[in-house]
Amino acid sequence: MIIAIDGPAASGKGTLSRRLAEHFELRHLDTGLTYRAVAAALLAKGMPLGDEAIAIEIARNLDLGHMDKSLLSAHEIGEVASRVAVLGGLREELVRLQREFANKPPGAVLDGRDIGTVVCQNAEVKLFVTASSEARAHRRTDEMRSKGIEAEFADVLEDLKRRDLRDSQRTIAPMKQAEDAHLLDTTEMDIETAFQAAVDIISKARDTMPT
Ligand SMILES: Nc1ncnc2c1ncn2[C@@H]1O[C@H](COP(=O)(O)OP(=O)(O)O)[C@@H](O)[C@H]1O
Ligand SMILES: Nc1ccn([C@@H]2O[C@H](COP(=O)(O)OP(=O)(O)O)[C@@H](O)[C@H]2O)c(=O)n1
């Protein structure tokens, strides 16, 4: 079974995907980390963010099993990732790696922006996880502060809105809800409630799947 989870920044896709993967005994890939890893490597090499040939080269050498989430999760890397994510050739390379991961048995949960629309169009279940910009900015601000990073709610809100706009308006694989995706708005849900709602949707979909 492949479960596709998309949604805007800090909507809770990662948290939900990890828990769903554990619950349904599937592998999990946070595809945002693949864009973040390329962005971080370009920054480390001091290369311009628009240098697609170098970005593709970095993507070809990417080891999905060795992406350092704690380093790559930095707020600033998210911004740079969304700027390199507009490069079509780079996306093709990363999508190839992501599909390879998804298609290995027993299946997987992938989260990102274009999983239901591009990477795994034939996923058995698709969720589009969202929450109001304010709720998402509160979550990200709290998350940063809990790691000892100084964060101002207003700055985080502005950053998230700018990134969401770029991600939803780019020409190639923009963030959008797939036609056959279930919408899960978690603005008024805590993590446990959102998880239970997702399990219900997936279990119902699985019960109607041909065996
Ligand atoms: N439903 C929720 N209610 C409150 N906080 C949440 C909820 N879902 C996730 N979080 C918290 O919000 C932050 C961002 O969640 P994360 O899963 O990293 O989002 P994303 O992967 O969409 O960027 C984390 O600190 C997480 O614990
Ligand atoms: N499937 C994906 C996943 C991420 N991305 C890009 O990578 C950036 C970082 O994604 P992320 O999922 O790690 O970001 P957060 O939602 O965790 O803040 C996004 O803003 C997108 O620009 C993408 O284009 N396609």
| Separation in Å, CA 38 to CA 57, 70, 156, 172, 189 | 9, 15, 22, 18, 33
Report yes or no for ipTM above 0.85: yes
Identify the pLDDT of residue 209.
Answer: 78
Q: Ligand 2 within 6 A of 126 CB?
A: no
202-209 long-range CB contacts below 8 Å, 24 or more apart? 202/3, 202/20, 202/24, 202/125, 202/127, 205/124, 205/125, 206/1, 206/124, 206/125, 209/1, 209/124
Q: From the CA of 12, how far away is ligand 1's center (Å)?
A: 4
Walk along the chain (211 residues) and give the pLDDT tens digit of each residue.
Answer: 999 999 999 999 999 999 999 999 999 999 999 999 999 999 999 988 989 999 999 999 999 999 999 999 999 999 999 999 999 999 999 999 999 999 999 999 999 999 999 999 999 999 999 999 999 999 999 999 999 999 999 999 999 999 999 999 999 999 999 999 999 999 999 999 999 999 999 999 888 877 6
Instruction: Give the CA radius of gyration of the chain.
Output: 17
Question: Where do the structural domains in the chain lie, given as residue ranges?
Answer: 2-204
Closest to 176 in 3D by CA, of 121, 126, 116: 116
Identify the pLDDT of residue 211.
Answer: 67
Q: Which atom of ligand 2 sits closest to the CA of residue 111?
A: 1
Q: From the CA of 13, how far away is ligand 1's center (Å)?
A: 7
Q: Ligand 2 within 6 A of 35 CB?
A: yes
Pairing of strands 125-130, 2-6: parallel
Report the nearest-CA residue for atom 1 of ligand 2.
Answer: 112
| Candidate CATH numbers 2.40.10.10, 3.40.50.300, 3.40.50.2300, 3.40.50.720; the one for domain 2-204 | 3.40.50.300
